[in-house]
Structures are given as structure tokens and as C-alpha cells.
Structure 1
Amino acid sequence: MREKTIQVSEKEMQNQLEKLLLKYRFTEDNAKLIAKTHTESTLFGVNSHGVNRIPLFIEYLEKGIININAKAKKIETFGSIERWDGNFGSGVINAVTCTNRAVELAKKNGMGLVALRNTNHWMRGGSYGHQAADAGCISILFTNTQPNMPPWGGKDSRIGNNPFVVSIPRKKGHIVLDMAISQFSFGKINDYKLKGEKLPFFGGWDDNDELSKDPEQISLKERGLPIGFWKGSALSIILDMLATLLSAGNSTYRISKNKIETGISQVYLCIYPEIFNDKALQEKLLNEIIDYTHNVEPIYAEDRTYYPGERSQIKKAENLKNGISVNSNIWDKIIMLSQ
């Protein structure tokens, strides 16, 4: 069954989400911030971590998984490295707070790292890559998750798809890599399920332990396929170890003991490239790399190559011009929840 969609403007989405969050007693500032983050993610074409996540976010609020009034607090300081506790507050608010702090530390010391524990899903990690890049910083950000992939050679899920973000500021458009360590994030798998479409590549295992492109089958037991097979499996484990050790927080193993994903651990590392005093050279080198990768004959005539984040920028421009395509059932649910 094909997905039914409607077109929603950026302003309409921002206002509707803000209205909903105010109903659930967020402060005006926090309601605006969360609504803006979800709206921008959807503008960039990442509905799976933007507007599509709102009903689940509200469900978590109603279950008390997310503490509406909580604020992330600094626990320990080690020079340009800090540990923070998210106190189970909004993952978006905590992520914005910790990105800002990592940027402050980087501008003071050249490099800054904030390790955060006891937080919730940050939604689209690329939001904070863009935030750091807008502030003139390179960023390396990652989070652990609930177990949703088998370690390579295993049958049951024991590792997370641990989203990984790298951003580099650039005048002509920031470079932003935002990827899960699974071939498809489970939000993206749900997008395909909503559209009634198969995945374009294998995305996980079905009940018969066979690799599948069927989002319904993969979602049953959440057994995603690691990128690069055994290499992605190893990368997931390493990112979980780093997030856990640096934050002194929960590992994927400990997160698995909760029925719902919460209390996750994250790392926000920022570098301030202006300390090198060669900004013009940096821009020249970036453009050389981009031009070199753009200037390649495509396998198929209708295709072309992109740098990380380029297609998202194109999608944002299209959505600003034409309106954002949203699943009508999800939008109807948001309207209903707002009343």
C-alpha cells in the first residue's frame, strides 16, 4: 500500500509542533528549539528523524521516559574535556547544550570534548554537526543505542547502530557526514515500511536468518545489517566502548536492560580550525577534494557524485520551494495530539 502524503510549509510545521510541545508543558524556548530541530530535519529530507518521530516522542513523554524539566549538568572537568549528565531530559535539548559547550571549549583550547550520559535519543545527529559547523568548528559526534544489530557471526542483536557524525565548516556549504552504523537506520526502515516499499539493498535479517530487503521482516526482531559487514560490527563495538568509557555512562548492554531505549551515552568532540591561521588554504583544499570527486564519469548517465551532506542541502532547497512532503497519517496524528 502506497504512502499518502500532503505538503506542509516550514512555518506551518514549526508552529504546529511548537503548539503540541507547549501542550505537553515544555517551556516556550524549549518548545521552539525542539520544534525547530524536527522541522529542519524534515526540511533536509530526513522525515524518519524529524516529523515522523514526533508521535513516538510524545509517547515517551506520556510514559515518563523523558523528563520534561530536566537539564544537562556538568559533572566533572578535566581541562578541555568534560563529563555531563543529561538527567534523562530531552535528547535534542541535551545535544544542543553539549554541542554548544564543546564549541566553547574548542574556541578556548583548540579542541573540546563533552561526554554525556543519561540522555535520550538525539533524533537526527546531523543537526548538531550543522550546529558546530555554523559556529566554525569541525565536529566528531557519536552515540550508542539499544541493541539492534547482531555482532558479525551472531544470531541475536547485541550491538547498536550507533549513529556517527563528522562535520567540516565550509563557505559554499558545510560537509556533514551523518550515518548509522547499520546499512539503514531503523527510522529509515520505517520510512520504507510507511511507503509500502522494499529496501534498495539488504538491510537486515528476517525470521529465517536470511538477509532481507523487507522492512516489515527486519523490524520484527530489529536485527539490522552492519555497514561493511564485520567491519561495521567492529566499529559499532568501538563507538559503544568510547561513549561508555568517556561518559562513565551506560553501554548498549546496560541499555538493553530497559524495555525502552533511554539513558544512552554520547560524545561531542569539536575542533576550532581557525587556530591554524590558514583559513583560505583550508577552503582551497576542501574544494580540491570535492572537485576531484565530482569530476568522475558516472557508471550510469543519469547519476552523479556528491560530497557528504550535499544531497541534503539540495533536498532542503526543494522543500523550501515546494513544501515538505509528509505522511498524511502522521500529520493527522500530530494535529489530533495538539488538540
Structure 2
Amino acid sequence: MNEVLISKEEMQTMLKSVFLKYSFTEQQADTLSRIHTESTLDGISSHGINRIPVFIDYVRRGLINIEAIPEKIAEMGSMERWDGNLGSGVLNAITATERTISLAKNHGMGLVALRNTNHWMRGGTYGWQAANQDCIAIMFTNTTPNMPAWGGKHNRIGNNPLVIAIPRKEGHIVLDMAMSQYSFGKMENLLLKNETLPFNGGWDSHDQLSKNPKDIIDSGRSIPVGYWKGSALSMILDMLATLLSAGNSTFKIGQKGSETAISQVFLCIDPSVFSDKELQEELINEIIAYTKDVDPMKKGGATFYPGERTLAVRTKNRKEGMKVSSKIWNEILALAR
């Protein structure tokens, strides 16, 4: 894959011009360009720069309402339901996360269930957002059906990303994982690089497990992580997101023809209510140290806590610039004209 080296400042400026062209406000354009750039800076191009053409296509088709404002529709103590009114998934998720953090600061724990929103891009963004404000976070979303339930042939469940974040002085712990072995964004990124998957990621059109991202993208059938376990967890997350938000299930989303009007849950906990912050840090570091104190399977290998490599990639890309697909970058330039 041909690549170009782009600085953080250059990317953010270019993306802002794209969002302004498509009638987002100055503030919205600032936020969207920052979030997509930060995802790319952290090495998640699949849900950063690479998603821009798809995002703009959704705007053009009216699937994303750029004038939408999320609104609270129900509340009970530290729990609330919100409606995203089909606005930008990123902007809605930032609002929901901020509200959840506020509820957690006031009550010790807060929950916002959000319906009728759109793709939140990199889910980890909101885990980092919460951890940066010293909150533990558990967040998840449902999606269009893009995996067969274990034992079935046809797509009936979503890859339903799950985010869990824990604040930590030496570097936050942030788990960001889909229920599929690989997200479709990750597979599209590998396809751009003409690379194969290290492990089977789904089925091809002949019902054979494959490491070829193109075969899996063409078939539209990814494999659940942990096989039957990932299948069950996907179903549970879909149920929770749908029930708590009173929104659309993966079944209903699949009937729309495009991945829109999805349901999400944002849960935050303020650990400071326990007034033993130093002990909390010690316990987390104890687990990390114990996990790392092993002989590597391969020479030069190591174990990592969730989010550790993200911090390393972020530091490297800030210094050296981000490698971006020439094809994608040219598409971005065309959108800005």
C-alpha cells in the first residue's frame, strides 16, 4: 500500500475543512476533526481517517442529521435515557459520556442509555475521555448484524464493541474490543495494505474459515471472538443496549439497510468515593506487574495491559507523523475541494 506521512496538525486542519464544507458548525467541525485525528494518531486508522469517506456518505444520504441535538427523555436518580435524534455518533457519544461522568461525580455511579444514534467510530475514545476525568467506564454499542450466531450460517448478531476503562497515574487501562475476532474496519485497513490476518477472521463465500480480509468482507461474515462465548456475549450486549435505551436491536437495525439508529450504554463509576486511591493504584499495578513477570513465548516478546501499546503508538506518531493510505488521503483531499 502506498502511504503518505501526515502530521497531527495537517490532518486536523484538513478534516476540519471537510466538516465545515458539509455544514457542520465551527465547534462541531473542531470536535470531529480532533477525534478522528486522535484515533489515527493512536494507530486506529480504521476508525479514524479511514472512516471519513463513509461518514460523509452517510451525511450526504441524510442518515446523519448534522443539526440534531441529543435530548434527555427519561431519568431516575443516577440513570438516564437519551435520544440521539440520528445525529453524529461521535458528537452524541461525547455528550453521553460527559453526562455519565457528571452523574458519577454526583452519585458515585452514573448511567446513560442512548438510542437513535450513529457509529461512534473508535469506542475507546470515550473510555479515554472518562479515564482522563478519573472515572472507571463500561460502555458498549450494538451494530448491524455482521456475524452469525455460533452454529448458524446467516448473520444474526452484531460485533457490538465493548469498552472498559480504568484511570491510572502511569497510564490508563483502556480495553476497546469488538465481539468479532477482527472489526471490519481493521480488516479493511489490512486489505488496503494487502496483508492477511494472523488468525482466521471469518468465513468466505464457500463457508470456509479464512485469513483473507477480502474474502471475509465480501461474505460479510466475521467470526465471534471466543466462538460460542463471543456469540453469547454479543447477544447479551445487544439485549442490554436495547432494553436500557428502549431503542433498536441489531434485528431492527439490520432491517434499515444501513447501520443507523443504533443503541448504546455508557456507565461510569467515580472510584474516589472509596477514599483509598493509593491502594487502588497499588492493586492495579500489582496485577499488571504479575502479568508481565513471565518468560515470553517468542524471543523479544512481551505482555501488555490494555491501552499500553496505544500510548506507545501515540508518542511515536506525534514525533514522526502518521502513515496514511495514499488512496484514503486523496479521497479526503477530494472531499475538501
Which residue is 2:264 aligned to? 266
Which residue is 1:25 aligned to? 23
Find the partner of 1:296 among 294, 297, 304: 294
SS in 1 for 2:113: strand
- The reply to whether residue 147 of structure 1 matches residue 145 of structure 2 is yes
Give, in whole Å, the separation in 2 of the partners of 1:59 and 1:138: 34
Find the partner of 2:3 among 2, 5, 23: 5
Give, in whole Å, the separation in 2 of the partners of 1:329 and 1:231: 37
SS in 1 for 2:156: coil
Give, in whole Å, the separation in 2 of the partners of 1:145 and 1:263: 9
Q: Offset at 1:142? A: 0.1
Which residue is 2:163 aligned to? 165
Structure 1 moving runs of 4+ over 6 Å: none
C-alpha offsets along residues 270-293 of structure 1, whole Å, 9 cap, x if unaligned?
A: 000000000011111111111111
Give, in whole Å, the separation in 1 of the partners of 2:43 and 2:300: 21
Q: Offset at 1:75? A: 0.3
Give, in whole Å, the separation in 1 of the partners of 2:77 and 2:20: 38
Give, in whole Å, the separation in 2 of the partners of 1:158 and 1:331: 34
Q: What is the one-letter code of the residue matched to 1:72?
A: P
Find the partner of 2:133 among 129, 132, 135: 135
Give, in whole Å, the separation in 2 of the partners of 1:195 and 1:156: 28
Q: What is the one-letter code of the residue matched to 2:9?
A: K
- The reply to whether residue 181 of structure 1 matches residue 179 of structure 2 is yes
Q: Offset at 1:221? A: 2.6
Give, in whole Å, the separation in 2 of the partners of 1:19 and 1:289: 45
Find the partner of 1:34 among 25, 29, 32: 32
Give, in whole Å, the separation in 2 of the partners of 1:71 and 1:136: 27
Q: Offset at 1:295? A: 1.4
Q: What is the one-letter code of the residue matched to 1:273?
A: P
Q: What is the one-letter code of the residue matched to 1:184?
A: Y
Which residue is 1:251 aligned to? 249
Mapping of residues 93-112 of structure 1, within 5 Å: 93-112=91-110
SS in 2 for 1:65: coil
Q: Offset at 1:71? A: 1.0
Which residue is 1:45 aligned to? 43
Q: What is the one-letter code of the residue matched to 2:321?
A: G
Which residue is 2:277 aligned to? 279
Give, in whole Å, the separation in 2 of the partners of 1:72 and 1:135: 22
Give, in whole Å, the separation in 2 of the partners of 1:164 and 1:221: 24
Give, in whole Å, the separation in 1 of the partners of 2:311 and 2:297: 23
SS in 2 for 1:254: helix
C-alpha offsets along residues 158-194 of structure 1, whole Å, 9 cap, x if unaligned?
A: 0000000000001111000000000000000101111
> When the two structures are aligned, how many residues end up with a matched partner?
337
Give, in whole Å, the separation in 2 of the partners of 1:300 and 1:155: 36
- The reply to whether residue 84 of structure 1 matches residue 82 of structure 2 is yes
SS in 1 for 2:155: coil
SS in 2 for 1:152: coil
- The reply to whether residue 323 of structure 1 matches residue 321 of structure 2 is yes
Which 5+ residue runs of structure 2 have no aligned equivalent? none
- The reply to whether residue 218 of structure 1 matches residue 192 of structure 2 is no
Which 5+ residue runs of structure 1 have no aligned equivalent? none
SS in 2 for 1:165: strand
Q: Percent identity?
A: 59
Q: Offset at 1:220? A: 1.1
Q: Offset at 1:72? A: 0.7
SS in 2 for 1:158: strand
Give, in whole Å, the separation in 1 of the partners of 2:158 and 2:103: 29
Which residue is 2:56 aligned to? 58
TM-score w.r.t. length of structure 1: 0.99
TM-score w.r.t. length of structure 2: 0.99
**RMSD after superposition:** 0.5
SS in 2 for 1:332: helix
Q: Offset at 1:214? A: 0.8
